[in-house]
Structure 1
């Protein structure tokens, strides 16, 4: 059965803070209802904790790091789920229940199976 990454773009909040408790409750409710198709996932710390890595000059070049995310946007990549669904239609239906879709966006993308 195909797998899909459901990448959540929402307000950049720290899910470990007490003020995120209601949001975490909604995510736990989503997880409980969709656990039959969830194969993995994680919440991410805010973008302020990100480090962006680039290699200048191609393979073997100088490693350059920058504090912060790759792009500055209103919505940030805040987490993801790995979903195993019959098809894209089912994956979209499941993704529409992710709380981040209600005031942000969830990008659903098929996973490449390299047969490992």
Structure 2
């Protein structure tokens, strides 16, 4: 059973440039000591594999992790907008090197003044 790593409501920056990752989740990406980025794979709920890059600032006491490469393509493919939500989950621990991560997205829908969520994308 997958365990949620984090759930995030998307901002304009998350959609257009890069997605900020909560600091408390940084360890899950297992960026090697002395390096500032790592490519990793995620699987969406349809079984499609995506490649993202998690990067941190090189010279700052606050690393502020972000997802860059691959993330924007995912967001555009899913037509994600500000206020939509993504969930990253740990599907499997593949040893000390990498975690197997899953991703799903939900769209926020407003209809007749009420707010609803789509099924996972």
TM-score by length of 2: 0.30
TM-score, L = length of structure 1: 0.31
Higher relative contact order (CA 8 A, sep 6+): 1
